[in-house]
Amino acid sequence: MPVAVLTDSTAYLPRDLAAEYGVHVVPLYVVLAGRSGREGEDISSADVAKALSSRGQRVSTSRPTPGDFLAAYRAALDAGADRLVSVHLSAELSGTWDAARVAASQVGEHIVSVVDSRSAAMGTGFAVLEAARAAAAGAERDEVARIAREAAARTRTLFVVDTLEHLRRGGRIGSAAAVLGSALAVKPVLHVVDGRVVPLEKVRTSARALGRLVQHVVEHAGDREVSLAVHHLAAAERADRLVSELRERVPRLRELYVSELGAAIGAHVGPGAVGVVVATGAEAPDEPGAVPGEDDDRTH
């Protein structure tokens, strides 16, 4: 294809779809038990869940290097692409977007467009998927980047964690909110707004939190056609219950993907976390928490 689409490993795009559309995936790094490895290649979700469940074991993450992106960009160009669109995890949550931008400046910004999805997991993945489909249909680079940006703006990412401690340690949520949540033993429903993780609602039990998560998804979907992604870390039964409820309660479900969170995001949400990403069609208006307009985006 004249335009190749790239992303990072936190998009959690199903492997078969990434292969079908030729999406290049650059992995983040995860550090645990004194070793560093690539997400999904050297260190698995199970490795992270086991480490976080063991007292005293710390897990940290780091972005790909500009050199990692430079190698991926050159490989895509060598494979026959003329232009590249690189779509990534929110710059508010990681330095991944910045590393990609540095690499793009070395290749040439007239060749590479780097898009900040201002989202995470399949909030990024759905944008990557729409961009890849547009590229396969022959769209030019600027159009593919625009489609990615607008697709990300139409996603909403909601999730529930067993504890806020992992988000606090990683600096992904304020210390005050984490301490308060732990002290009151609440189970907050969280969401991503303007690229940041913020509390949406506080409830007292895990069962009620999951119920409210489903309700928010149903209300957001309304009678629109939507795609959904259900993510979890070491919580397959919870994820299965979510899938069953959503299939029953979302009337116009176009597609639904289920996957365990990878090591990089799993390290920050912890075992037991479950989440849902809702992606509406192109005809839908922008929702709260969407990517800003073209004059205030992170596309280069």
- pLDDT tens column, 255-289: 999 989 988 888 888 889 999 999 998 654 344 33
Predicted pLDDT at 56 = 61
Q: Which of 160-164, 206-210, 277-281 has the highest mean pLDDT?
A: 277-281
CA distance 23 to 109: 19
Sheet holding 253-260, edge to edge: 196-203, 187-193, 155-160, 274-280, 226-232, 253-260
pLDDT-derived band of residue 179, with 50, 70 and 90 as boundaries?
Answer: very low
**Number of residues that this document lists for the chain:** 300
Over the chain, what is the mean pLDDT? Answer: 86
User: Using CA atoms, how far apart are residues 195 and 198, in angstroms rounded to an integer?
Assistant: 9
Confidence check: pLDDT of 191 > 70: yes
Model confidence at 55: pLDDT above 60: yes
pLDDT (tens digit, 9 = 90+) per residue, 34-49?
Answer: 788 999 899 999 998 8
> Domains of the chain by range and CATH?
3-153 (3.40.50.10170), 155-280 (3.30.1180.10)
Say which residue, 58 or 120, is predicted with more confidence.
120
| Burial status of residue 180 (CB atoms within 10 A of its CB: 0-12, 13-18, 19 or more) | middle
Give the Cα separation of 271 and 276 in Å (integer). 16
- Of 63-67, 114-118, 213-217, 268-272, the poorest mean pLDDT is in 268-272
Distance CA 239, CA 297 (A): 33
In 3-state terms the chain splits into helix, strand, coil percentages (rounded to 5) of 40, 25, 30
Assign 124 to helix, strand or coil: helix
Task: From 22, 239, 267, 245, select the one nearest 129 (Cα to Cα).
Answer: 22
Provide the pLDDT for residue 168: 64
pLDDT of residue 29: 95
Q: What is the pLDDT of residue 28?
A: 96
Cα(211)–Cα(199) distance, integer angstroms = 16
Q: How far apart are CA 136 and CA 139, in angstroms?
A: 7
The pLDDT assigned to 165 comes to 66
What is the pLDDT, as a whole number, of residue 192?
A: 92
Whether the CA torsion 56, 161, 230, 228 is positive or negative: it is negative
Return the bridge partners of 38, or none: 29
Give, in order, the Cα–Cα distances in Å from 124 to each of 130, 149, 158, 261.
Answer: 10, 10, 13, 13
